[in-house]
């Protein structure tokens, strides 16, 4: 594997001319773009321009733990009936956070830092516009692995930490920015985009993206980076990759942290069932419309379905619904075309696709030699703490921590608590 820094610089230079700029406002401005926050789990549909002012805007919901900030150009008129989040309070700006919340501050880009290049499949993704808030990226470059290039960013010095992202199997590392910046003060923090996600290369045939190949890519990356065993932090889908690495490539893993992750396709299915139950109980009028669409044979990844499922997003995934506004995104951060192939067309009701080929790790959890810590959000109503406790039942040496003021995104809602737990855990090992 080699590092392709020239390609990274070229793509970054292209982005400087067209992408969002660091000085752009982080909150909607009068006459500016309007942001919609969506999330319920694991579903996908490519959006199209609305044919009429009151038309429903197609929305992608990526799963487990997906939140998508959808930016719609202000000139497109909308009616209240077309707003999928009309049942809840509007998202707050970052400057209007709930009392007592202290998320990490977004820092301006440092001299010498650069934006990452555009994702190769960005043209396939029309869910986000170039008006999305800018994301500060550390320096990064391409690394050749198994015949394609993976995008890797690195910042800080010290023991290496590799972050494996979730937001369903189609999300990029952007979900971690800027919430892990503080760890770079005493660790080397590495962010990676899997094949076909984020800024990494994407195959022409997306069915080439599989769980087994994701695991093989990260194992090869860690081996050729020659960093020695690293601290792995697996969030959501990234935790599944982490378990496979700890079991089949133990020489690459120093410690493993599973953050609101899952252990099997069965748990993925329960994740959706829990979301559907919450939606039916808290938004019965929405559930009635979902049921009517389902009776007509409409799959859950259909844009009409996704607009309805969006209602449960902030309720299910966050301790405080307004914390959903703290998640950043950017053009190309999610490969919208990959999701239905990987998860199945009706994933919100029945998981399918590549999910069915992911192993059930429960019988092997006790074989993991690396120290294991599991982080669960007290208010995660999809992968709730009782499900997370099964990791402890299967691997009794597991350190289990509840984040008392978090849902699915502990690193967003309680970053200081997460960082303290990680530092203490890593110091022991």
| pLDDT tens track for 369-395 | 999 999 999 999 999 999 999 999 999
Question: Rounded to whole angstroms, how far apart are CA atoms 164 and 161?
Answer: 10
Lowest-confidence region among 165-174, 262-271, 349-358: 165-174
**In Å, how far from its chain's centre is CA 203?**
20
Per-residue confidence (pLDDT) for residue 324, from 0 to 100: 87
Structural domain includes residue 253: yes
For residue 227, pLDDT over 60 is answered with yes
In order, the DSSP letters of 116-138 are PPPPTTGGG--SS-TTSPP----
**Domain span at 173:** 3-7+138-266+355-428
User: What's the whole-number mean pLDDT along residues 60-75?
Assistant: 35
User: What is the pairing mode between strands 148-155 and 187-192?
Assistant: antiparallel
Task: Give the model's confidence band at 74: pLDDT under 50 very low, under 70 low, under 90 confident, else very high.
Answer: very low
Q: Residue 254 belongs to what H/E stretch?
A: strand 253-259
> Which CATH number covers residue 373?
3.40.50.1820
For residue 114, pLDDT over 50 is answered with no
Structural domain includes residue 390: yes
Length of the chain: 429
Structural domain includes residue 182: yes
Question: Rounded to whole angstroms, how far apart are CA atoms 388 and 259?
Answer: 10
Number of helices (H), then strands (E), in the chain = 11, 11
User: What is the pairing mode between strands 230-235 and 253-259?
Assistant: parallel
Could you identify the residue written with the tokens 């959501």?
236
pTM as predicted: 0.72
Q: How many CA atoms lie within 13 A of 143 on its CB side?
A: 24
Task: Select from 16, 20, 17 the least CA-distant residue to 129.
Answer: 20
Structural domain includes residue 143: yes
Lowest-confidence region among 165-169, 188-192, 215-219, 228-232: 165-169
For residue 219, pLDDT over 50 is answered with yes
Question: Rounded to whole angstroms, how far apart are CA atoms 322 and 83?
Answer: 17
Structural domain includes residue 199: yes
3-state secondary structure of 288: helix
User: What's the whole-number mean pLDDT along residues 84-110?
Assistant: 34
Structural domain includes residue 86: no
Question: Rounded to whole angstroms, how far apart are CA atoms 173 and 163?
Answer: 8
pLDDT (tens digit per residue) in 253-294: 999 999 999 999 999 999 999 999 999 999 999 999 999 999
Structural domain includes residue 187: yes
Per-residue confidence (pLDDT) for residue 339, from 0 to 100: 86
User: What is the pairing mode between strands 372-377 and 399-403?
Assistant: parallel
**Whole-number average pLDDT of the chain:** 76
Structural domain includes residue 202: yes
Per-residue confidence (pLDDT) for residue 166, from 0 to 100: 82
Per-residue confidence (pLDDT) for residue 325, from 0 to 100: 87
Per-residue confidence (pLDDT) for residue 379, from 0 to 100: 95
For the chain, the domain total comes to: 1
Bigger pLDDT: 171 vs 39 = 171
């Amino acid at each position: 594997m080699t590092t392709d820094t020239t390609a990274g610089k070229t793509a970054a230079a292209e982005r400087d001319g067209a992408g969002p700029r660091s000085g752009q406002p982080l909150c909607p401005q009068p006459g500016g773009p309007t942001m919609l926050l969506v999330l319920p789990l694991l579903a996908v549909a490519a959006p199209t321009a609305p044919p009429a002012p009151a038309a429903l805007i197609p929305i992608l919901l990526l799963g487990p733990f997906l939140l998508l900030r959808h930016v719609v150009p202000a000139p497109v008129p909308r009616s209240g009936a077309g707003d999928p989040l009309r049942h809840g309070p509007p998202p707050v700006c970052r400057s209007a956070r709930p009392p007592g919340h202290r998320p990490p501050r977004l820092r301006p880009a440092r001299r010498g830092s650069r934006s990452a290049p555009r994702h190769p499949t960005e043209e396939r993704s029309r869910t986000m516009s170039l008006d999305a808030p800018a994301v500060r990226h550390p320096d990064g470059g391409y690394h050749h692995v198994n015949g394609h290039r993976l995008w890797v960013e690195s910042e800080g010095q010290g023991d290496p930490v590799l972050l494996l992202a979730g937001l369903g199997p189609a999300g990029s590392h952007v979900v971690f920015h800027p919430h892990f910046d503080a760890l770079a003060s005493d660790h080397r923090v590495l962010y990676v985009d899997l094949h076909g996600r984020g800024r990494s290369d994407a195959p022409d045939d997306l069915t080439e993206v599989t769980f087994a190949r994701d695991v093989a890519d990260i194992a090869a990356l860690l081996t050729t980076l020659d960093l020695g065993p690293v601290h792995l932090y697996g969030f959501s889908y990234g935790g599944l990759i982490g378990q496979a690495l700890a079991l089949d490539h133990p020489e690459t893993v120093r410690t493993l942290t599973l953050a609101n992750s899952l252990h099997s396709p069965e748990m993925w299915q329960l994740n959706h069932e829990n979301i559907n139950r919450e939606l039916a109980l808290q938004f019965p009028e929405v559930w009635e419309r979902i049921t009517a669409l389902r009776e007509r044979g409409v799959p859950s990844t259909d844009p009409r379905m996704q607009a309805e499922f969006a209602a449960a997003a902030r309720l299910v995934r966050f301790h405080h619904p307004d914390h959903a506004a703290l998640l950043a995104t950017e053009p190309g951060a999610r490969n919208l075309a990959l999701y239905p192939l990987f998860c199945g067309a009706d994933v919100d009701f029945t998981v399918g696709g590549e999910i069915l080929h992911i192993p059930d790790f429960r019988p092997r959890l006790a074989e993991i030699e690396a120290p294991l810590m599991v982080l669960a959000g007290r208010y995660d109503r999809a992968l709730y703490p009782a499900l997370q406790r099964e990791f402890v039942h299967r691997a009794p040496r597991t350190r289990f921590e509840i984040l008392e003021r978090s849902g699915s995104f502990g690193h967003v809602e309680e970053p200081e608590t997460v960082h303290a737990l990680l530092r203490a855990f890593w110091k022991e090992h």
